[in-house]
Chains A and B, each alone.
Chain A
Amino acid sequence: MSTPAPQGPFSAPWEAQVFGLVVSLQEAGLFTWTEWAAALGRTIRPAGQGEQAADYGRWLETLERLLAERGVADGASLDSRTAAWHRAAHATPHGQPIRLENDPNFAAT
Protein backbone atom coordinates (compact mmCIF):
# COMPACT_ATOMS: atom_id res chain seq x y z
CA MET A 1 0.00 0.00 0.00
CA SER A 2 1.35 3.40 -0.85
CA THR A 3 -1.06 5.12 1.48
CA PRO A 4 -0.57 5.66 5.21
CA ALA A 5 -2.61 3.56 7.62
CA PRO A 6 -6.10 5.02 7.95
CA GLN A 7 -6.86 6.67 11.27
CA GLY A 8 -10.48 7.45 10.82
CA PRO A 9 -12.12 9.48 8.14
CA PHE A 10 -11.56 12.98 9.51
CA SER A 11 -8.30 14.61 10.52
CA ALA A 12 -10.02 17.16 12.81
CA PRO A 13 -13.45 17.47 14.44
CA TRP A 14 -14.35 20.53 12.36
CA GLU A 15 -14.01 18.44 9.20
CA ALA A 16 -16.58 16.00 10.54
CA GLN A 17 -18.91 18.90 11.38
CA VAL A 18 -18.62 20.34 7.88
CA PHE A 19 -19.33 16.96 6.32
CA GLY A 20 -22.32 16.48 8.64
CA LEU A 21 -23.68 19.94 7.84
CA VAL A 22 -23.51 19.33 4.10
CA VAL A 23 -25.24 15.94 4.32
CA SER A 24 -27.90 17.35 6.66
CA LEU A 25 -28.61 20.38 4.46
CA GLN A 26 -28.91 18.19 1.37
CA GLU A 27 -31.39 16.02 3.26
CA ALA A 28 -33.22 19.17 4.35
CA GLY A 29 -33.61 20.03 0.66
CA LEU A 30 -31.46 23.16 0.61
CA PHE A 31 -29.54 21.79 -2.37
CA THR A 32 -29.26 18.56 -4.34
CA TRP A 33 -26.10 16.47 -4.60
CA THR A 34 -25.78 17.54 -8.21
CA GLU A 35 -25.85 21.20 -7.19
CA TRP A 36 -23.36 20.48 -4.42
CA ALA A 37 -20.93 18.66 -6.72
CA ALA A 38 -21.14 21.45 -9.30
CA ALA A 39 -20.51 24.11 -6.64
CA LEU A 40 -17.59 22.17 -5.15
CA GLY A 41 -16.22 21.65 -8.64
CA ARG A 42 -16.21 25.44 -9.14
CA THR A 43 -14.48 26.03 -5.81
CA ILE A 44 -11.58 23.74 -6.59
CA ARG A 45 -11.00 25.36 -9.99
CA PRO A 46 -10.42 29.00 -9.09
CA ALA A 47 -9.90 31.32 -12.07
CA GLY A 48 -6.25 31.77 -12.91
CA GLN A 49 -5.01 29.18 -10.44
CA GLY A 50 -4.26 25.52 -10.52
CA GLU A 51 -6.83 22.96 -9.58
CA GLN A 52 -7.03 22.29 -5.85
CA ALA A 53 -7.72 19.33 -3.61
CA ALA A 54 -11.39 18.83 -2.77
CA ASP A 55 -10.60 18.87 0.95
CA TYR A 56 -12.86 19.97 3.79
CA GLY A 57 -11.53 23.54 3.66
CA ARG A 58 -12.93 23.72 0.12
CA TRP A 59 -16.15 22.10 1.36
CA LEU A 60 -16.50 24.88 3.93
CA GLU A 61 -15.85 27.56 1.32
CA THR A 62 -18.42 25.98 -0.98
CA LEU A 63 -21.00 25.69 1.77
CA GLU A 64 -20.55 29.35 2.75
CA ARG A 65 -21.04 30.42 -0.85
CA LEU A 66 -24.16 28.28 -1.32
CA LEU A 67 -25.70 29.58 1.91
CA ALA A 68 -25.03 33.17 0.84
CA GLU A 69 -26.47 32.53 -2.64
CA ARG A 70 -29.60 30.99 -1.14
CA GLY A 71 -30.03 33.87 1.29
CA VAL A 72 -29.64 31.61 4.33
CA ALA A 73 -26.57 33.22 5.85
CA ASP A 74 -24.47 36.02 4.40
CA GLY A 75 -20.78 36.68 4.92
CA ALA A 76 -21.33 39.56 7.33
CA SER A 77 -23.50 37.59 9.74
CA LEU A 78 -21.05 34.72 9.58
CA ASP A 79 -18.12 37.05 10.32
CA SER A 80 -19.83 38.55 13.33
CA ARG A 81 -20.88 35.13 14.66
CA THR A 82 -17.31 33.86 14.19
CA ALA A 83 -16.01 36.78 16.26
CA ALA A 84 -18.57 35.94 18.95
CA TRP A 85 -17.27 32.36 19.12
CA HIS A 86 -13.71 33.64 19.53
CA ARG A 87 -14.81 35.90 22.40
CA ALA A 88 -16.74 33.01 23.93
CA ALA A 89 -13.64 30.80 23.73
CA HIS A 90 -11.42 33.38 25.40
CA ALA A 91 -13.95 33.71 28.23
CA THR A 92 -14.19 29.94 28.75
CA PRO A 93 -11.83 28.28 31.24
CA HIS A 94 -9.51 25.86 29.50
CA GLY A 95 -11.02 22.38 29.37
CA GLN A 96 -14.61 23.57 29.78
CA PRO A 97 -17.12 23.29 26.94
CA ILE A 98 -17.11 26.47 24.86
CA ARG A 99 -20.62 27.89 24.63
CA LEU A 100 -21.78 30.89 22.68
CA GLU A 101 -23.43 32.21 25.86
CA ASN A 102 -19.94 32.62 27.33
CA ASP A 103 -19.34 35.53 24.94
CA PRO A 104 -19.30 38.64 27.19
CA ASN A 105 -21.26 40.48 24.49
CA PHE A 106 -23.81 37.69 24.21
CA ALA A 107 -27.34 38.98 24.23
CA ALA A 108 -30.14 36.50 24.01
CA THR A 109 -32.45 37.70 21.29
Chain B
Amino acid sequence: MTHDHDHAHGSGHGHHHGHGSDLTPVEARVKALESLLVEKGYIVPAALDALVEMYETKVGPHLGARVVARAWVDPTYRDRLLADATPAIAELGIGGRGGEHMVVVANTPDTHNMVVCTLCSCYPWPVLGLPPVWYKAPAYRARAVIDPRGVLADFGVGLPETTRITVWDSTAETRFMVLPMRPAGTEGFPEEALAALVTRDSMIGTGLPLSPGSEIPA
Protein backbone atom coordinates (compact mmCIF):
# COMPACT_ATOMS: atom_id res chain seq x y z
CA MET B 1 0.00 0.00 0.00
CA THR B 2 2.97 2.35 0.19
CA HIS B 3 2.33 3.29 -3.40
CA ASP B 4 -1.09 4.69 -2.53
CA HIS B 5 0.05 6.75 0.33
CA ASP B 6 2.94 8.32 -1.49
CA HIS B 7 0.40 9.77 -3.85
CA ALA B 8 -2.50 10.36 -1.53
CA HIS B 9 -1.73 13.98 -0.76
CA GLY B 10 -3.50 16.47 -2.90
CA SER B 11 -5.54 13.91 -4.77
CA GLY B 12 -9.00 14.87 -3.70
CA HIS B 13 -8.41 15.09 0.01
CA GLY B 14 -10.19 18.27 0.96
CA HIS B 15 -10.13 19.41 4.54
CA HIS B 16 -12.96 17.86 6.34
CA HIS B 17 -14.74 19.36 9.33
CA GLY B 18 -13.04 17.33 12.18
CA HIS B 19 -9.61 16.26 11.14
CA GLY B 20 -10.70 13.21 9.23
CA SER B 21 -9.81 12.27 5.67
CA ASP B 22 -11.92 12.03 2.55
CA LEU B 23 -11.93 9.62 -0.33
CA THR B 24 -13.57 10.54 -3.60
CA PRO B 25 -16.32 8.12 -4.69
CA VAL B 26 -14.07 6.46 -7.25
CA GLU B 27 -11.15 6.17 -4.82
CA ALA B 28 -13.38 4.43 -2.27
CA ARG B 29 -14.82 2.16 -4.95
CA VAL B 30 -11.38 1.04 -6.12
CA LYS B 31 -10.19 0.46 -2.56
CA ALA B 32 -13.34 -1.58 -1.94
CA LEU B 33 -12.71 -3.69 -5.02
CA GLU B 34 -9.07 -4.21 -4.19
CA SER B 35 -9.71 -5.16 -0.55
CA LEU B 36 -12.40 -7.68 -1.55
CA LEU B 37 -10.10 -9.24 -4.17
CA VAL B 38 -7.26 -9.49 -1.65
CA GLU B 39 -9.54 -11.22 0.86
CA LYS B 40 -10.71 -13.68 -1.76
CA GLY B 41 -7.13 -14.48 -2.67
CA TYR B 42 -7.16 -13.17 -6.25
CA ILE B 43 -4.73 -10.33 -5.53
CA VAL B 44 -1.50 -10.25 -3.57
CA PRO B 45 -1.01 -6.65 -2.41
CA ALA B 46 2.80 -6.66 -2.72
CA ALA B 47 2.61 -8.05 -6.26
CA LEU B 48 0.01 -5.46 -7.24
CA ASP B 49 2.14 -2.64 -5.84
CA ALA B 50 5.20 -3.93 -7.69
CA LEU B 51 3.28 -4.13 -10.95
CA VAL B 52 1.92 -0.61 -10.60
CA GLU B 53 5.30 0.78 -9.64
CA MET B 54 6.88 -0.88 -12.65
CA TYR B 55 4.38 0.79 -14.97
CA GLU B 56 4.69 4.15 -13.24
CA THR B 57 8.47 4.32 -13.19
CA LYS B 58 10.12 1.78 -15.48
CA VAL B 59 7.90 1.03 -18.46
CA GLY B 60 7.42 3.63 -21.15
CA PRO B 61 8.13 4.57 -24.73
CA HIS B 62 11.87 4.79 -24.00
CA LEU B 63 11.82 0.97 -24.21
CA GLY B 64 10.26 0.96 -27.66
CA ALA B 65 12.79 3.62 -28.66
CA ARG B 66 15.62 1.21 -27.78
CA VAL B 67 14.06 -1.42 -30.03
CA VAL B 68 13.78 1.06 -32.90
CA ALA B 69 17.35 2.33 -32.49
CA ARG B 70 18.70 -1.22 -32.47
CA ALA B 71 16.78 -1.99 -35.66
CA TRP B 72 18.24 1.12 -37.28
CA VAL B 73 21.84 0.15 -36.57
CA ASP B 74 21.62 -3.63 -36.95
CA PRO B 75 20.00 -4.94 -40.16
CA THR B 76 19.95 -8.52 -38.93
CA TYR B 77 18.13 -7.40 -35.78
CA ARG B 78 15.69 -5.48 -37.96
CA ASP B 79 15.00 -8.64 -39.95
CA ARG B 80 14.36 -10.64 -36.79
CA LEU B 81 12.14 -7.88 -35.41
CA LEU B 82 9.96 -7.71 -38.50
CA ALA B 83 9.81 -11.50 -38.83
CA ASP B 84 8.85 -12.23 -35.22
CA ALA B 85 8.75 -9.21 -32.95
CA THR B 86 8.04 -10.72 -29.53
CA PRO B 87 11.31 -12.70 -29.20
CA ALA B 88 13.34 -9.94 -30.90
CA ILE B 89 12.06 -7.44 -28.34
CA ALA B 90 12.75 -9.93 -25.55
CA GLU B 91 16.40 -10.05 -26.69
CA LEU B 92 16.70 -6.53 -25.26
CA GLY B 93 15.20 -7.66 -21.97
CA ILE B 94 11.85 -6.05 -22.75
CA GLY B 95 8.45 -7.70 -22.67
CA GLY B 96 5.98 -9.67 -20.67
CA ARG B 97 2.87 -8.67 -18.75
CA GLY B 98 0.26 -7.54 -21.19
CA GLY B 99 2.27 -7.41 -24.40
CA GLU B 100 1.00 -10.72 -25.76
CA HIS B 101 1.88 -11.12 -29.40
CA MET B 102 3.78 -8.15 -30.81
CA VAL B 103 3.95 -7.29 -34.47
CA VAL B 104 6.26 -4.54 -35.74
CA VAL B 105 5.48 -2.88 -39.07
CA ALA B 106 8.14 -0.85 -40.86
CA ASN B 107 7.61 2.51 -42.53
CA THR B 108 9.17 2.92 -45.94
CA PRO B 109 9.21 5.81 -48.41
CA ASP B 110 6.14 4.21 -49.99
CA THR B 111 4.17 3.15 -46.92
CA HIS B 112 3.39 4.84 -43.65
CA ASN B 113 1.89 2.71 -40.89
CA MET B 114 -0.46 3.84 -38.18
CA VAL B 115 -1.86 1.88 -35.23
CA VAL B 116 -5.29 2.10 -33.66
CA CYS B 117 -7.54 -0.09 -31.56
CA THR B 118 -11.05 0.38 -32.89
CA LEU B 119 -12.60 -1.98 -30.34
CA CYS B 120 -11.26 -0.36 -27.19
CA SER B 121 -7.68 0.59 -26.34
CA CYS B 122 -5.38 -2.40 -26.95
CA TYR B 123 -1.82 -1.09 -26.92
CA PRO B 124 1.68 -2.62 -26.64
CA TRP B 125 2.14 -1.71 -22.97
CA PRO B 126 5.52 -3.38 -22.34
CA VAL B 127 7.24 -1.39 -25.10
CA LEU B 128 5.27 1.86 -25.10
CA GLY B 129 3.86 2.08 -21.58
CA LEU B 130 0.23 3.13 -21.19
CA PRO B 131 -1.53 4.80 -24.12
CA PRO B 132 -2.07 8.56 -24.33
CA VAL B 133 -5.58 9.86 -23.72
CA TRP B 134 -6.26 10.61 -27.39
CA TYR B 135 -5.54 6.98 -28.31
CA LYS B 136 -8.48 5.91 -26.16
CA ALA B 137 -10.85 8.58 -27.46
CA PRO B 138 -13.72 7.71 -29.84
CA ALA B 139 -12.56 10.41 -32.28
CA TYR B 140 -9.20 8.75 -32.89
CA ARG B 141 -10.59 5.21 -32.89
CA ALA B 142 -13.15 6.14 -35.54
CA ARG B 143 -11.19 8.61 -37.66
CA ALA B 144 -7.92 6.68 -37.86
CA VAL B 145 -9.63 4.16 -40.10
CA ILE B 146 -11.80 6.51 -42.16
CA ASP B 147 -9.43 9.43 -42.62
CA PRO B 148 -5.89 8.54 -41.58
CA ARG B 149 -4.37 11.33 -43.64
CA GLY B 150 -6.58 13.88 -41.89
CA VAL B 151 -5.59 12.48 -38.50
CA LEU B 152 -1.93 12.73 -39.45
CA ALA B 153 -2.46 16.34 -40.54
CA ASP B 154 -3.95 17.07 -37.10
CA PHE B 155 -0.76 15.69 -35.60
CA GLY B 156 1.27 17.93 -37.85
CA VAL B 157 2.45 15.13 -40.10
CA GLY B 158 2.28 15.79 -43.82
CA LEU B 159 3.20 12.90 -46.08
CA PRO B 160 3.73 12.91 -49.83
CA GLU B 161 0.56 12.13 -51.77
CA THR B 162 2.28 9.05 -53.13
CA THR B 163 2.85 7.56 -49.68
CA ARG B 164 0.29 4.90 -48.90
CA ILE B 165 -1.07 4.87 -45.35
CA THR B 166 -1.79 1.49 -43.80
CA VAL B 167 -3.83 1.39 -40.60
CA TRP B 168 -3.36 -1.57 -38.26
CA ASP B 169 -6.14 -2.44 -35.86
CA SER B 170 -4.69 -3.76 -32.59
CA THR B 171 -6.53 -6.48 -30.78
CA ALA B 172 -6.15 -8.20 -27.46
CA GLU B 173 -4.02 -10.87 -29.17
CA THR B 174 -1.95 -8.82 -31.57
CA ARG B 175 -0.41 -5.50 -30.64
CA PHE B 176 1.26 -3.44 -33.31
CA MET B 177 4.19 -1.07 -33.10
CA VAL B 178 5.53 1.05 -35.94
CA LEU B 179 9.21 1.01 -36.90
CA PRO B 180 9.67 4.55 -38.20
CA MET B 181 12.24 5.44 -40.84
CA ARG B 182 15.64 6.54 -39.60
CA PRO B 183 15.95 10.32 -39.90
CA ALA B 184 18.41 11.76 -42.42
CA GLY B 185 21.65 13.16 -41.06
CA THR B 186 22.10 10.49 -38.39
CA GLU B 187 24.85 8.48 -40.05
CA GLY B 188 27.32 7.24 -37.48
CA PHE B 189 25.08 8.18 -34.53
CA PRO B 190 25.46 5.84 -31.55
CA GLU B 191 22.40 3.83 -30.60
CA GLU B 192 21.59 5.92 -27.52
CA ALA B 193 21.59 9.13 -29.56
CA LEU B 194 19.28 7.51 -32.09
CA ALA B 195 16.92 6.28 -29.37
CA ALA B 196 16.57 9.87 -28.15
CA LEU B 197 15.07 10.79 -31.53
CA VAL B 198 12.33 8.16 -31.33
CA THR B 199 9.09 9.63 -30.02
CA ARG B 200 6.12 7.70 -28.68
CA ASP B 201 3.92 9.01 -31.47
CA SER B 202 6.41 7.87 -34.11
CA MET B 203 5.94 4.30 -32.82
CA ILE B 204 2.13 4.64 -32.98
CA GLY B 205 2.46 6.14 -36.43
CA THR B 206 0.91 9.52 -35.59
CA GLY B 207 4.30 11.20 -35.60
CA LEU B 208 7.75 11.02 -37.09
CA PRO B 209 11.08 10.71 -35.27
CA LEU B 210 12.78 13.94 -34.31
CA SER B 211 15.48 15.38 -36.53
CA PRO B 212 19.01 15.47 -35.15
CA GLY B 213 19.55 18.60 -33.12
CA SER B 214 15.88 18.96 -32.20
CA GLU B 215 15.72 16.21 -29.62
CA ILE B 216 14.26 16.93 -26.22
CA PRO B 217 17.04 17.09 -23.60
CA ALA B 218 17.04 13.97 -21.49
Contact = CB atoms under 8 A, between A and B. Distances in A.
Interface string A49-76: 0111111010010011001000011000
Contact of A82 (B29, B40, B121): B29
Interface residues of A, number: 63
Interface stretch (B2-10, B75-83, B178-186): B2-10
B107 to A, nearest CB: 18
Contacts of B34: 17, 21
Given A13-B3, A54-B136, A73-B40, A1 B21 contact: no
A84 B153 CA distance: 50
Given A89-B21, A92-B21, A33 B173 contact: yes
Interface stretch (B48-56, B84-92, B189-197): B48-56
Most chain B CB inside 10 Å of its own CB: which residue of A38, A54, A73: A54
Mostly, the A contact residues are helix
B20 A93 contact: yes
Interface of B: 1, 3-5, 7-9, 11-13, 15-16, 18-37, 40, 42-44, 47-49, 51-52, 55-56, 60, 97-98, 100, 117, 119-122, 129-130, 132-134, 136-138, 141-142, 154-156, 171-173, 199-201, 207
